Amino acid sequence: MDWIMAILEDLLFIAAAPLLAGWIKRVKCRLQNRKPPSLLQPYRDLLKLYRKQPILPHPASWIFRAAPYVVFAATVAAAGFVPLVAVDLPTARIADVIVLVGFFALARTFLVLAGMDIGTAFGGMGSSREMTIASLAEPAMLMAVFTLAMSAHTTNLSQAMNYVLDTGLVLRPSFVFALGGLMLVAIAETGRIPVDNPATHLELTMIHEAMILEYSGRWLALIEWASQIKLMLYGVLIANIFFPWGIARDFSPEALGLGVGMIVLKLGLLAILLVLSEAVFAKMRIFRVQEYLSFAYLLSVLGLLSHIILEAARVHH
Amino acid sequence: MIAVYLILLIPLVGMVALAWRGGDVSAERINIRCNGLALAASVWLAADVLWNGPRLSAGQLLYIDSYNVYLIVLTAFVGLTTSIFSGPYMSHEREIGRLTPRRLKLYHTMYQGFMLAMYLVLTTNNMGVMWVAMEGATLATVLLVSLYRTPESVEAAWKYFILCGVGIAQALFGTVLLYFAAEQHLGVGGDALLWTVLHEHSAQLEPAILGLAFVFLLVGYGTKIGLVPLHNWLPDAHSEGPTPMSAILSGLLLNDALYAVVRCKILVDGSLGNHLAGHLMMGFGLLSFLVASLFLHRQTDIKRLFSYSSIEHMGLMTYAFGVGSPWATFAALFHMTTHSLTKSAIFVTVGHAAQLAGTQRMDRIRGLILTQPTIGWGLLVGTVAIAGFPPFGVFASEFLVLVATMHDYPWLTPLLLLGVGLAFAGLFRHIQPMVYGDVPEGQKPIAANLWPVMLHLALVLWLGLSIPAFLGNWFSQATQLISGALPQ
Amino acid sequence: MSLFLAYLAVLAALLSAVVATIDGRSSWVDGLFGRVLARWPRQLERTRHSLAAEDYSARHRRLLFALLGGSGVAALLAGTGALASGSPLVDTLPFGLPWLSWHTRLDPLSGFFFCVLGLPLIAVSLFGPGYVREFEHGKHSLAGLGLFTGLFVAGMELVLLADDALSFMIAWELMSVASYFLVAFQHEHAANRRAAFLYLLMAVVGAIAIILAYGVLAGFGRGLTFDALRGASLSPLWASIAFVLALTGFGMKAGLVPLHAWLPEAHPVAPSHISALMSGVMLKIAVYGFIRFSFDLLDRILWQWGVLVLVVGSASAVLGILYALQQQNLKRLLAYSSVENIGIVFTALGLSLIFLSNGDTVLGTLGLVGALLHCLNHALFKSLLFLGAGAILHQTHEQNLENMGGLIHRMPKLANVFLVGTLSIAALPPLNGFVSEWLIFQTALQAGSIQSGVLRSLIPTASAVLALTSALAATCFVKVYGVAFLGLPRSGHIAHAKEVGQRGMLAGPALLAALCVLIGILPAPVINVMAGLTRQLTGADLGNISALGWLWLTPVAPEVASYAPALVVIGSVAVGWLCYYLLYRRTGLEPRRAEPWDCGFGGLTARMQYTSGAFSMPIRRIFQPAFEVQETLEESREGPAGTRVTALRYRFQVLDRAWLALYEPVGRGVVRLARWVGRLQTGNIRTYLGYSFFTLIFLLWVIS
Amino acid sequence: MSITDLDLYSQAILLLAGLIALTSFLMLGQSRLVRLVFIFAVQGALLAGATAMAAGVLDYPHLYISAGLSLLLKGIIIPLLLHRLIHRMGLHREMDTIDHPARLMMGGTALVVFSYYVSLPIVQHSTLVTLNAIAVSLAVVLLGMLLMISRRQAVAHVVGFMSIENGLFFAAVVSTYGMPMVVELGVAFDVLVAAVVFGVFFFQIRASIDSLNVDRLSKLSEAEQ
């Protein structure tokens, strides 16, 4: 029975992703005093792209055609591992947070390969920069995860959430630093403003866009959808690990309802926070991203050290 | 005991025959046949001694025990294979006009003369006669060094003669002191200089005199071994003399000089009781081992390179005999065999390589493997063997020396291993560019029978993998004699 | 029984060496057959016909590599037998010294490494015949190659079997010497000769350190056999000295950072199937030696050792991959990545040592299992990548990534196999690279249970370095695959490349790729097989590794961490196929071919693509202090006062810091010492007499 | 056992020993080759006399043969050989300048003191009356080596070598009742052959570097390159 619940939650996850993107777009337009498009605009875009005939560049190989499917499958699988509404789901047990990072890496790798497959300068540039940022972001992310795992004694997300729920509201300096580090990494990974501008089409500035420049039709739809799911995934990670309250611990209808309500509320708030940061900051030069990410790494390391020095000192085995 | 007289008689007859017909083509066959007969006699003698123990000749002049019998067989074997190699080598030298028939006659006569002196040193029981034989060996080879009459070879011969002459004189003074110490207890008469008698009474001999005698003997025969402060004549003699002579010089003369020093050490140890002799030999050995391995790095002449390698290995053997424990002595005896086999094989390939490239300068010898694979691979595998890589015997003996040192003087092992590493680097730095690379234009293969090399390297490989039973207990008996206990 | 199989493996390898030399003397073979069959003229014609020159050599080559394959299969069976039985089999051979003959021993540890040796060997034996055909007509005889390959494989197998210091050292250096000749096989290039000499020099220095290590143990034990060495009880100081010596000796051969500079020189220079064996298997033999010495022979483990190995391991990992990223030559890149993977293995061993010295054997065993699994995985995917590089070299004679491109269209089957290799070395989830790194991360994560605060903070930072390494590895190998296989061909001869002709040259890598995927999806059986091994070494085994069933991996406990690779793969494949079915089948819209977007000014050429140097430029700029970069910019100018720049030539070269800091000073020091000693030989006879005179005086003074 | 209570013969032997040491010193300081060979001949004669005297004292007959042999060999044949060689080579007028004679002489005396110090333990234990002359023989050997080191002429080297042989022979006579006959013959034979070979070498060296100056013989050097 819980396998069906897990699949349902996964489907909910996929369906809600464009909604979150739409909500972010709406808040951004409101801030810029522009009339915002409707919340369902992303769904219409995906349907439009789905019906268009895809264009295949000449030098492209089978990787170019297979990459969207692999990226989408990997992201959906990753979405399965993260508890959205309920905690003890079987899909959360078959993989832990390191496997999650691994699946992000798999998706990114195929995207980069597809970028280089066309043999143009932009694909190469986007791939090179994407991999550079990813290789700097991953240690920071894993350090944040380690801080969490050290205190929760597990890398399994649902177990970690149970731990945080059981111990109640505890002001842990290590969690604060880890949260900061994870947020900065999330912005870098999903390609938001300070690191990469998702809305731009100026070839020399884009990173994520440069790789999917040649995609069109249903492939582009899949990739766009996957990046939206990834954005939501990071949001859910931040929300549910550090503020898991309200998540359903059993499958009773009211617990689930409460869970859905709380996650919608939390994601909304996070989206507003994201849009505010995008409004304040401007896109950085590629070689400034290095300081940005090393700051994120520093935060995570501080989190870890504070866990060891401050929190774990009294724990005697 | 006829075999012993045979061994001494054959080279004598060979000398006379070659003195008469040494110049023409048949000389090589005579030389090979003499050495073949000598080998047969030595094998017969070895079998004889192996079954019914040490043999003392009539009049106590010649004494064969387990220690010198395997050296005799080794000397005969290396003498034979080098004479097989020297046949085509010398005829090639005569074709390119570097040697006249008259000098070839001198060469062949002195070759057999040298073999006679070697056998005499090994078989004699009288220390005085041993000295005379050693001096005889020097005289036999000094004229060979200046065979080519180039200014360098004359200079090398002169240095060889003066330095070895002075060294041998010191050895004579040591022998006189030995005789003096013996006379105190054994009274006047011929047998005071006999090794067997001295060995029995070594306890009563006067320690102070024997100590002094050993110093003179060590410095004297040490010059012949080529231990470092006294080694200067060896590289010159090797690089200037004809290659077969370097082969036997390296393979046999150094071994016999060390044999003589070890004979004296046994006596001195008997009387002194402490390890003075051992420590002296260890000091000399280690010094020559390290300094020679450093010398290897800046050589330009290929034969000089391998003469320094000989000094280095002789240093290691002297050091091993100096350590004196059963394992170290077994290792030293084993190293003596593997070293002379490998070194003479290397000198054979070096001779052919020099003839192939027309020069002894290492920076002008290139592409050996591609010109003539047998010579190229022979030299490379020989150098791998002498550098002490495992499947070959030299590694087994060096490993044993290391284990023995670790047992008694552990803080010396890093020094030894440093020496091994430096020696390998020095050797390979020069050999590798010579062996590999493309064929320089105008380099044609030459007539060369490398069967002796293949035979030697196969033997060393066999020794490296597993020491045959009879050779094993030969060494054990000799170790028992020298160090007083069996290696367990 | 498995010991007999192990001997069979060694004999098969030696036989292939002997058979190789026979080819060299084909005239000798004809002569032999002529004399033997003189009495039966009819048979003489038939054999003479069958020995016709052309297909004789083809049949001979296949026989050569069939014997190697046989040796691989026997090794694999022996290994699995030893692992399954769990009890050591001991024997003595008639070789060696009279009182110290060769002792041999096949216990689960050497059994496991027999499997690590067997699998790549089988793949190489499939790959070999096709690849070696081009050497036949070259200047270097095939006999030499065959002989030394056989000796090399036999040497490695004997190292695994050796049970006393003498036979271990003999086998160890037989392996080094044989591989030296293989590295110096194509010795017409000066760089090959230099690399070969450096390789052998480092092998000697390593062997010296190992002999010293065994010596220290033998000093306190009774004899030289491993059982005697195990009995030796050493003081902590002497045990640390022995450990550091062993780490230096085996680390030198495995290629740990300060001593690794020979590895990227030697491995790319050897024929590809040999560099596959060297990188894939020989480095693991060095790891085996280290594990045998530190886990089995030494009677105690100190936590300082673990910290040292951890620091050296993570330094090797991160520096190895950083240098790999900057390489243009494909095989040099793979060699540097071997340094990185060996660094990861030693990091895991360091973690295991720390936990074992701290007393919790389960976590120590987990670290050891992570390290061993990574050894096996690395042996598989590194051999696969080297064989792939060899196939490219065989088809296009090109090793430089800057000239490659678009090979996926010209060599599709090879490209697919290479892709599996790339994904597994980049440690991406469904494949085996990820499983071992996941285990190592899990080990690092349990650092909480250690008392000392320093260790508790050191281990996570080391694991962060490990994370950086795996991310950089992904970057590096994505660059390799992207630049080599995707995009437009960057040079003429690459454009005309054809798919690999011989089936064997694809079968070998395909076998390895299949194994990579299999271990990636079903790692549990492989880990359970290692139980016997860990019980022997650390006294504990991972009891609840498959607590939730054989599909799962739960290293410490189900609630701590659990990973079911098979289910994850099934899930994502299902989703992927569903999308493909929904989006492609239903719409039926065929994609239209068109020109890629060129910003309107048109004329996209191959030179506009990102080259490998460009791809790794950001990393080079960010990790600037780690490299010694020499960038030269030559402008050829013309016209009055050189105002018009006609051509720009930009070259950059990344030098290895270890080379400048360690290798050259030592070399210069030795030469200076040799020159100082050279002054002893002045040439003047009077000085020589003076030496003799003063030695005599000195000794006389000493005596009295 | 001071000299006074020795009988006349022993005192004569000790006197001869002193004279032999004197000849060694003279050779050290002599710069002309002809005179050097003459002093060497005198040393040979003195050695023969001492051996004869020792034979008389110890009434040991076979010493007379070796005394006659050494007189014939070292007193007459070898000096003559060298003398003819010097004249044929035209070296009799050449002055072989010794670089700093005063320091050389002091070195010589130091050597004598040192050899006495070294042979002290031997002298105490023996009963032989002529034993304390062994220090002198050791001194002659060391002075012979010093001579070879300090001179540049090849002929001087030969003379030095021969005086070392004299020292050894004197040691044999003085310390023991003379070496066994077979050894005596062997040593004598070797010395004779050595002299012949030296002759051969002189012509070869002359042919190669047309002078007998030993410092010119240093092509085989590894120092500077």
Contact in structure between C109 and C288 (CB atoms under 8 Å): yes
- Supply the range of the domain harboring residue D61: 7-92+99-214
Q: How far is CA A239 from CA A82, A101, A265, B3, in A?
A: 11, 17, 10, 101
Domain assignment present for residue D219? The answer is no
Query: Does chain D touch chain A (at least 3 C-beta pairs within 8 Å)?
Result: no
What's the first-to-final CA gap in chain A, in angstroms? 38
CA distance D74 to D41: 7
Q: How far is CA B80 from CA A95, B83, B334, B455, in A?
A: 77, 5, 20, 12
| A136 CA: distance to closest CA in chain C (Å) | 7
Q: According to the per-residue pLDDT averaged within each range, which of A64-78, A92-106, B204-218, D182-196 is highest?
A: A64-78
Q: pLDDT at residue C547 above 60?
A: yes
Q: What is the DSSP letter of C545?
A: G
Task: Inspect the interface and report whether the beta carbons of B155 and D219 lie closer than 8 Å.
Answer: yes
Supply the DSSP string of C432-460, one letter for each residue. Answer: HHHHHHHHHHHHHHGGGG-S-HHHHHHHH
Which residues fall within 8 angstroms of residue A214, CB to CB, at 6 or more apart? A55, A57, A60, A64, A118, A120, A123, C596, C597
| B137 CA: distance to closest CA in chain D (Å) | 11
Q: How far is CA C234 from CA A179, B265, C228, D50, in A?
A: 49, 36, 13, 67
Give the tens place of pLDDT for each residue, C27-44: 555 555 555 555 555 555
User: Helix D154-175 crosses helix D8-29 at what angle (to 10 degrees)?
Assistant: 160
Nearest-5° Cα angle at C532, C530 to C534: 70
CA distance C83 to C77: 10
Neighbours of chain B (3+ CB pairs under 8 A): C, D
Give the tens place of pLDDT for each residue, B378-393: 999 999 999 888 788 8
Window from B203-217, C538-552, C637-651, D145-159 with minimum mean pLDDT: C538-552
Q: Does the predicted TM-score (pTM) go above 0.95?
A: no
- Chain C interface mutation, best of A127, A142, A310, highest count of C Cβ atoms under 10 Å: A142
What SS3 class is residue C696? helix
Size of interface B-D (CB pairs under 8 A): 135
Task: Inspect the interface and report whether the beta carbons of B146 and D217 lie closer than 8 Å.
Answer: no
Torsion angle of the four alpha carbons A261, A262, A263, A267, in this order, in degrees rounded to the nearest 10: 110
Tokens of A206: 């884009």
Q: pLDDT at residue C413 above 60?
A: yes
CA distance A114 to D19: 106
For tokens 């930009």, name the residue.
C650
Counting the structural domains of chain D, the total is 1
Give the tens place of pLDDT for each residue, C273-332: 999 999 989 999 999 999 999 988 888 888 899 999 999 999 999 999 999 998 889 999
- Chain C interface mutation, best of D149, D155, D157, D219, highest count of C Cβ atoms under 10 Å: D149
Task: Inspect the interface and report whether the beta carbons of C693 and D145 lie closer than 8 Å.
Answer: yes
Task: Inspect the interface and report whether the beta carbons of D149 and C690 lie closer than 8 Å.
Answer: yes
Chain C residue with CA closest to A162: the answer is C559
Reported as a pLDDT band with limits 50, 70 and 90, residue C23 is low
Average pLDDT of chain C?
85
Q: What is the pLDDT of residue D5?
A: 63
Which residues in chain B are contacts of D58 at CB distance < 8 A? none
Q: Which has more confidence, C653 or C282?
A: C282
Residue from the list D125, D165, D177 with its beta carbon closest to the beta carbon of B206: D125
Reported as a pLDDT band with limits 50, 70 and 90, residue D126 is low
CA distance C447 to C458: 9
The rounded radius of gyration (Å) of the Cα atoms in chain A is: 20
Residue from the list C187, C204, C674 with its beta carbon closest to the beta carbon of B297: C674
Domain assignment present for residue D224? The answer is no
Query: What's the whole-number mean pLDDT along residues B71-75?
Result: 90
Beta bridge partners of C653: C630
CA distance B476 to C94: 18
Q: Count of CB atoms within 10 A of residue C617's CB? A: 16
What SS3 class is residue B194? strand
Q: What is the pLDDT of residue B488?
A: 66
Q: What is the pLDDT of residue C210?
A: 92
CA distance C616 to C479: 8
Which residues in chain D are contacts of C699 at CB distance < 8 A? none
List helix spans (H) across B22-150: 26-52, 66-95, 101-123, 127-145
Which residues in chain D are contacts of B197 at CB distance < 8 A? none
Q: What is the pLDDT of residue D3?
A: 60
CA distance D176 to B179: 8
Supply the DSSP string of C634-651, one letter for each residue. Answer: EEEEESGGG-EEEEEEEE
Residue from the list C683, C686, C704 with its beta carbon closest to the beta carbon of D149: C686
| D167 CA: distance to closest CA in chain B (Å) | 9
Which residues in chain D are contacts of B188 at CB distance < 8 A? 60, 177
Closest of A7, A14, A60, A9 to residue A222, by C-alpha: A14
Count Cα atoms within 13 angstroms, Cβ side, for C546: 14
Which residues in chain B are contacts of C680 at CB distance < 8 A? 232, 291, 295
Tokens of C252: 């030198």
Residue from the list B159, B414, B422 with its beta carbon closest to the beta carbon of C685: B159
Which residues in chain C are contacts of A159 at CB distance < 8 A? 559-560
Chain D residue with CA closest to B300: the answer is D222
| C19 CA: distance to closest CA in chain D (Å) | 47
Closest of D193, D195, D175, D185 to residue D79, by C-alpha: D195
Handedness of CA A208, A210, A216, A219 (dihedral sign): negative
> Amino acid identity of C551?
L
Task: Inspect the interface and report whether the beta carbons of D183 and B212 lie closer than 8 Å.
Answer: no
Q: Count of CB atoms within 10 A of residue C300's CB? A: 13
Which residues in chain D are contacts of B300 at CB distance < 8 A? 225
Domain assignment present for residue D221? The answer is no
> Amino acid identity of A88?
D
Q: Count of CB atoms within 10 A of residue D165's CB? A: 26
Tokens of C451: 């008392």
Q: How far is CA C14 from the centre of its chain?
A: 22
What SS3 class is residue C669? helix
Q: Which has more confidence, D184 or B241?
A: B241
| B112 CA: distance to closest CA in chain D (Å) | 17
Which residues in chain B are contacts of D205 at CB distance < 8 A? 154, 158
Reported as a pLDDT band with limits 50, 70 and 90, residue C389 is very high
User: Helix A217-242 crosses helix A62-81 at what angle (to 10 degrees)?
Assistant: 20
- Cβ burial, residue A293 (10 Å; 0-12/13-18/19+): buried
Q: What is the DSSP letter of A283?
A: P
Chain D residue with CA closest to C677: the answer is D223
Chain D residue with CA closest to B191: the answer is D180
Please tell me the total number of residues recorded for chain A in this structure: 317
ipTM at complex level: 0.85
Q: What is the pLDDT of residue A265?
A: 92
Interface of C with D in 650-689 (CB under 8 A): 678-679, 681-686, 689
Reported as a pLDDT band with limits 50, 70 and 90, residue B474 is confident
Contact in structure between C20 and C142 (CB atoms under 8 Å): yes
Q: What is the DSSP letter of B65?
A: -
Neighbours of chain D (3+ CB pairs under 8 A): B, C
Q: What is the pLDDT of residue C451?
A: 76
Does C498 reach chain D within 8 Å, measured CB to CB?
no
Q: What is the DSSP letter of B163?
A: H
Size of interface C-D (CB pairs under 8 A): 52
Interface of B with C in 187-226 (CB under 8 A): 211-212, 215-216, 218-219, 223
Count Cα atoms within 13 angstroms, Cβ side, for A1: 3
Counting the structural domains of chain A, the total is 1
Q: Count of CB atoms within 10 A of residue C138's CB? A: 12
The H-or-E segment that residue C632 falls in is: strand C628-638
Which residues in chain D are contacts of B155 at CB distance < 8 A? 208, 217-220
| C699 CA: distance to closest CA in chain D (Å) | 11
Reported as a pLDDT band with limits 50, 70 and 90, residue A312 is low
Helices (H) and strands (E) in chain B, counts: 20, 2
> Amino acid identity of D142?
L
Supply the DSSP string of B330-368, one letter for each residue. Answer: HHHHHHHHHHHHHHHHHHHHHHHHHHHHT--BGGG---H
Task: Inspect the interface and report whether the beta carbons of C689 and D117 lie closer than 8 Å.
Answer: no
Q: What is the pLDDT of residue B208?
A: 83
Chain D residue with CA closest to C699: the answer is D118
Closest of A42, A19, A47, A49 to residue A219, by C-alpha: A49
Chain D residue with CA closest to C690: the answer is D149
Contact in structure between D146 and D107 (CB atoms under 8 Å): yes
Beta bridge partners of C563: C553
> Amino acid identity of C604?
L
Contact in structure between C228 and C215 (CB atoms under 8 Å): no
Tokens of C466: 């490990």
Contact in structure between C3 and C89 (CB atoms under 8 Å): yes
Which residues does D contribute to its contact with C (CB < 8 Å)?
A: 114, 117-118, 120-121, 142, 145-146, 148-150, 152, 157, 214-215, 217-223, 225
Residue C633, phi then psi, degrees to nearest 5: -125, 110
Closest of D162, D195, D166 to residue D84, by C-alpha: D195
Supply the DSSP string of C24-85, one letter for each residue. Answer: HTHHHHHHHHHHHGGG-HHHHHHHHHHT-HHHHHHHHHHHHHHHHHHHHHHHHHHHHHHHHH
Which residues in chain C are contacts of D218 at CB distance < 8 A? 682-685
Task: Inspect the interface and report whether the beta carbons of C95 and B433 lie closer than 8 Å.
Answer: no
- Supply the range of the domain harboring residue A107: 2-314
Which residues in chain C are contacts of B390 at CB distance < 8 A? 169-174, 177
Task: Inspect the interface and report whether the beta carbons of B399 and C211 lie closer than 8 Å.
Answer: yes
Window from B422-436, C373-387, D88-102 with minimum mean pLDDT: D88-102
Interface of B with C in 264-323 (CB under 8 A): 276, 280, 291, 294-298
Which residues in chain C are contacts of D219 at CB distance < 8 A? 683
Helices (H) and strands (E) in chain C, counts: 31, 5
